[in-house]
Amino acid sequence: MTKTYKILIGGKWVSSESKETFQSLNPATEKILGRFQSGNENDVNQAVDAAERAFEGWSSLPAPKRGEILFRLASLLKENKESLARTVTNEMGKVLSEARGDVQEAIDITEYMAGEGRRLFGRTTPSELRDKFCMTVRRPIGVCGLITPWNFPTAIPAWKIMPALICGNTIVFKPASDTPLCAIKFVEILEKAGVPKGVINLVTGSGEQAGTPIVRHKSIRCISFTGSRDTGLQITKEAGIKKVGLELGGKNGIIILEDADLNLAIDGVIWGGYGTTGQRCTAASRVIVQQSIKERFEKLLSERVSRLRLGNGLDSKTDVGPMINKKAVEKTHSYTEIGIKEGAKLLCGGHTFGKKGFFYQPTLFTDVTYNMRIAQEEIFGPTVCIISVKNLEEAIEVMNSVTYGLSSSIYTSNMRSAFKAIEGIEAGLTYVNSSTIGSEAHLPFGGVKQTGSTREAGWTALEEFSEIKTVYFDYSGKLQKAQIDTG
Ligand code: NAD
């Protein structure tokens, strides 16, 4: 029997007022994993009310005490790492080793933010007047609406939930409709760790029915969204005057110069291009290779790509898991057709795979020019394009020719080339001699241009989830006027 899961409002698991449900499938087997509430505006309103009621208690709890709950949560996440990872593989499809990484990222950010409970630093600075003290303190924002995608169903919610909690906010969380089970399992652990009732509320459902009411809600003071550029744009139009954090798409590239360690670079392309079946915002979908090594590189890379094994992510022999759903497979295939029509040469893949599940073969194009659609638009699938260039200057120009600016990488043994790339590439992340993927929880993460401008994780996450209050404390006992009393 298929289990029907509920939504969490004010500490109670309840059914949606819509009385409707939707199902979530295992993308490798197409087996139904459960039925989930189709949350709507009424559910969101109740969740926001619950979050508002919980705000006073949570925000006034000393931050180190909030940190203690997060430390407890981190150890519960560690205890439950394997079962959470298996849920990620079953529902999202990524191979188990990557799913464990997804959960580990959640553990890392939880520990990091737990420690922030004893920091949450403000600043002090001298006043221009005598007997006056100046400082800044961090204040919580209020109720935060967190809207997340399916590709990191544990890590991305954790990247938002942990800083939001440590800063003293309460939460209405809406996960992607493709991964509601991962979200429920994660939130159950937050409850067990002792996050008080109403501090985190979970509403499952579609973007339109459950997401839009969160974005529009007048009592929600901050929206933190990770997802596609088009949805991000919609959110900026709907949110009104709120703090809005956006982490959107990418069209990331790896530059490989002729002085690079080619085997190392190929490992990076395989990992960046086909890891998570290319469904990472930081996926390396473009490889910008110096002409002099293009032929050798193409040969070595296509040999490696054609050996990648597709299959269920739970099978230890699998290199590449399924895509998230049928629509994603169709989108990827439509880009294969576009690439062929545009005159790019297909070296590997280009087809669906197997009879069950949403599989697409690892696909490699060469002779791609920087302005082809396959080199400009986010495919979000296992498709890599090789673009050849004369030199580093042209490589940087090609790298910057897209509207996105999330991650980038350069393989070279020349320090000057590496630093020129770091200076010249328009992106939030640049890796040297490593792939475009693999951020660490204590460092800022985010992009520029159409990727958005928020920086999640690390100390910058606190900027997203707190307000700075400036405090002037005058102990002179008389009226002192800044800028006017200059004596
Ligand atoms: P999506 O934009 O379709 O959905 C993301 C979330 O937004 C889901 O929960 C969805 O239900 C919700 N949503 C959809 N329409 C909405 C609306 N009108 N109002 C409010 N909420 C709405 O994205 P996706 O397909 O789930 O994820 C893939 C995209 O996410 C890719 O573009 C990828 O690059 C991007 N992504 C970015 C980052 C990053 O950190 N920059 C990380 C992961 C994924």
Query: 9 burial class (0-12, 13-18, 19+ CB within 10 angstroms)?
Result: buried
Q: What is the pLDDT of residues 86-140, one digit of tens each?
A: 999 999 999 999 999 999 999 999 999 999 999 999 999 999 999 999 999 999 9
**Shortest-distance atom of ligand 1 to CA 177:** 11
User: Is 428 found in the same domain as 358?
Assistant: yes
Tell me if 362 is assigned to some domain: yes
Residues 213 and 167 grouped into a single domain: yes
Pocket probe mutation, ligand 1, options 202, 281, 282, max atoms within 8 Å of Cβ: 281
Query: Residue 309: its pLDDT value, please?
Result: 97
Query: How high is the pLDDT of residue 268?
Result: 98
Residues 292 and 263 occupy one common structural domain: yes
Write out residues in the chain with pLDDT < 70, as ranges.
Answer: 487
Full domain range(s) for residue 133:
7-248+452-470
Active site residue 281: yes
Q: What is the pLDDT of residue 256?
A: 98
Length of the chain measured in residues: 487
Mark whether 348 is an active-site residue.
Answer: no
pLDDT at 1: 85
In a domain, 439, yes or no: no
Asked whether residue 113 is assigned to any structural domain, the reply reads yes
Amino acid at 421: A
184 with 289, same domain: the answer is: no
3-state SS, one letter per residue, for 84-103:
HHHHHHHHHCCCHHHHHHHH
Residue ranges with strand state E in 382-482: 383-389, 404-405, 407-411, 429-432, 448-449, 466-474
In a domain, 483, yes or no: no
Predicted local distance difference test score (pLDDT) of residue 420:
98
Instruction: Tell which atom from ligand 1 comes closest to the C-alpha of 152.
Output: 43
CA distance 106 to 233: 27
415 CB burial (10 A radius; 0-12, 13-18, 19+): exposed
- Tokens for 200, please give them: 């985190």
Answer yes or no: do 170 and 316 share one domain.
no
pLDDT value of residue 105: 98
485 lies in a domain? Answer: no
Q: Is 408 helix (H, G, I), strand (E, B) or coil?
A: strand
For position 406, which CATH number holds?
3.40.309.10
Is 243 found in the same domain as 186?
yes
Q: What confidence score (pLDDT) does residue 310 get? A: 97
Q: Which of 44, 92, 226 to mutate to test the pocket of ligand 1 (most atoms within 8 A of CB)?
A: 226
The whole-number pLDDT of residue 19 equals 98
**Assigned domain for 11 exists:** yes
The enclosing domain of 244 has a CATH number of 3.40.605.10
- pLDDT recorded at residue 329: 98
CA of 123 to the centre of ligand 1 (A): 35
Domain assignment present for 437: no
117 and 257 in a common domain: no
If asked whether residues 337 and 372 sit together in one domain, one would say: yes
Residues 233 and 144 in one domain: yes
Specify whether 303 is located in the same domain as 166: no
> What is the count of structural domains for the chain?
2
List, in sequence order, every residue forming a beta bridge with 431; answer none if it has no partner: 409
Question: In terms of domains, do 403 and 424 share one?
Answer: yes
- 423 and 311 inside one domain: yes
Residue 484 included in any domain: no
151 in contact with ligand 1, CB cutoff 6 A: yes
